[in-house]
Amino acid sequence: MSTTQSERLRELLEPLVSSQGLDLEEIAVDAVGRKRVLRVVVDSDTGADLDRIADVSRALSAKLDETDAMGGGEYTLEVGTPGAERPLTEHRHYVRATGRLVRFQLAEGGELVARIVEADEDGLDLEVPGVKGRRATARRLAFDDITRARVQVEFNRKDNEKEEEA
């Protein structure tokens, strides 16, 4: 997708997505055979349930139908939320990942796996899990020290078990 088309679609669709209380995270147009697929990824601080996705999908579809933003050819509109292991690239992503385990690639080299305790404008307060029965330790990480971050999927989180027992 050309930058011009991407920018045009973002300018057209972002106000509609925002009016639904969601953030427009990503737009991609892919060729699938003779058809094109417009993929729109949305999210919010409270998440996006199926009803909100359906509402925004209908609004986007109507707007696209009344404009020539996608040209005259056939296309399919897909609206969804980011995947479980999406990269964290914006400040709001880190805020939304509070309480989650994240794998960080560090600017100084190496990586760190830690749980986000709090995110502010300058960086993150983390809890680094202890190794071999040792206690977890606290660590502060500035955003400038992070080259890449991705939420990790946890199937058997011990904190969840403690909350369920209480």
The domain spans of the chain are 5-80, 87-151
Task: Give strand pairing partners of 104.
Answer: 112, 149
What does the pLDDT read at residue 141? 95
Provide the residue type at 96 as one letter: R
87-151 is a CATH 1.10.3720.10 domain: no
What does the pLDDT read at residue 35? 84
What does the pLDDT read at residue 18? 93
Q: Which residue, among 166, 165, 164, 115, has the nearest Cα to 141 in the 3D structure?
A: 115
Helices (H), the chain: 3-19, 50-65, 91-96, 158-165
Per-residue CA distances from 135 to 16, 110, 124 (Å): 47, 22, 19
Task: Give strand pairing partners of 64.
Answer: none
Return the CATH number of 5-80, one of 1.20.1070.10, 3.30.300.70, 3.90.1150.10, 3.30.1360.120. Answer: 3.30.300.70
What does the pLDDT read at residue 58? 94
Average pLDDT over all residues of the chain: 86
* Ranges of the chain whose pLDDT falls below 50: 1, 160-166
Length of the chain: 166
What does the pLDDT read at residue 112? 94
Question: How many CB atoms neighbour CB 160 within 10 A?
Answer: 10
